[in-house]
Structure 1
Amino acid sequence: MTDAPTPQALIGATLLAAGRPVRLAELASVLGLSEDASLRAIQAFEGALTQAGLGFALEAVAGGYRLVVPPATAPHLAPVLAPPPLPPLSTAALEVLAVIAYRQPVTRAEIEAMRGASASTVITLQERELVKVVGRSDAVGQPLLYGTTDKFLLEFGLSSLSDLPPLEGADFAHLLRS
């Protein structure tokens, strides 16, 4: 008979198998511990990863935890990573994304009024799953309302929308992580 896996082994296996950020409550359920005890186990797991230098790091993002490759390791992995990264978002797309992120839910007409230009890049942002339709406005014609997605949080390394930087003087282009 084998011994039961340690909390650290369960945390690592869960994060690896899930392939998405796993919320604290989910990890607590897997571990069979309270959320406070699970948080301590996660912190111990993070320390063990750092100390062992195994090429993984723990990241708190989108309301959960996931395993990631430390930034210093990423350039060495280029030969085996696929598919090639998408081209960077245009300045117009980043502007539209910023308006949606800070003002959601928002209609396309409201985006265009704020930007003083077309918001046609909403389609690109939907294709990249950074924004989605979150409802309809009560305005005449009931235009679509747009909001950000969990993938937006992942791409920008945010736990929640409250982690967005202050709007004044922000340069949004440097925030998107590859």
Structure 2
Amino acid sequence: MNYKAAIEAILFTMGESVELGRIADAIQLNEKETKKLLDELIKEYRSSSNIGMNIIELDGAYQMCTKPQMYEYLIRIAKQPKKRVLTDVLLETLSIIAYKQPVTKAEIEKIRGVSSEHAVSKLVEYNLVQELGRLDAPGRPLLFGTTEEFLRSFGVSSIDELPVLSPVQVEEFKQEAEEEMHVKLDV
């Protein structure tokens, strides 16, 4: 059996990410062998300029997608490319969710200092953020976190790959904020 062809068919047909275990079950191989085949396919797709597709890994799941350089051809055939606009407010809110997840709207609003209802709703609409459940606290507020679409959009395999601020950068931001507010921040 051509396992690589089977994996390609699965990923193409599903159209969304598929967990390693599900792929392994479908082709009736163990996860280690399946992962090896997936790694080979990823390498083959990336190294070939004759293939307009890629296979990407997203937090232990795999998805087939088009290569970024194919976008110009896709927009010619698509009626209207989906172009999301992430305003400063949305980016700020998304950053808080990405780094603090799981997080409630109240926690987001405490950090931002203003209502975040619209921003969170828009991020959910864009499928960059999702409800993860409810906090076991009075009122049982919703918890929010990032989605696979977030990982895809920002080119990372997991949230562990997000950039980390150094203590020096944190101190610089703190000093800038103190100067702007003319107060001493105790963080």
TM-score, scaled to structure 1: 0.79
Residue 14 of structure 2: which of 12, 15, 18 is its match? 18
Measured in 1, the distance between the counterparts of 2:83 and 2:49 equals 33
* 2:100 aligned with 1:103: yes
Deviation at 1:82? 4.4
Deviation at 1:138? 4.5
What are the equivalent positions in structure 2 for 1:67-86 lying under 5 Å apart?
67-86=64-83
- 2:58–2:148: 8 Å Cα contact kept in structure 1? no
Residue 35 of structure 1: which of 31, 35, 49 is its match? 31
After superposition, give the CA deviation of every residue in 1:65-110 in whole Å (9 maximum; x if it has no partner).
Answer: 1222222222232111344223311110111111111112222221
Deviation at 1:9? 0.9
Counterpart position of 2:58: 61
After superposition, give the CA deviation of every residue in 1:100-125 in whole Å (9 maximum; x if it has no partner).
Answer: 11112222221112122331311111
Counterpart position of 2:111: 114
- SS of equivalent residue, structure 1 residue 72: helix
Identity of aligned residues (%): 36
- 2:19–2:62: 8 Å Cα contact kept in structure 1? yes
Segments of structure 1 that go 5 or more residues without pairing to the other structure are 171-178
After the TM superposition, list the runs of 4 or more consecutive aligned residues in structure 1 that deviate by more than 6 angstroms.
Answer: none
RCO (CA 8 Å, sep 6+): is it higher in 1 or 2?
1
- SS of equivalent residue, structure 1 residue 84: coil
Q: CA RMSD in A?
A: 2.4
Counterpart position of 2:91: 94
Change (3 A) 1:115 1:40: same
- 2:94–2:123: 8 Å Cα contact kept in structure 1? yes
Residue type at the aligned position of 1:98: S
Measured in 2, the distance between the counterparts of 1:137 and 1:41 equals 40
Instruction: Provide the aligned length of Structure 1 versus Structure 2.
Output: 166
Residue 144 of structure 1: which of 128, 142, 164 is its match? 142
**Greater Cα radius of gyration, structure 1 or 2:** 2
- 1:61–1:157: 8 Å Cα contact kept in structure 2? no
Change (3 A) 1:46 1:144: closer
- 2:75–2:81: 8 Å Cα contact kept in structure 1? no
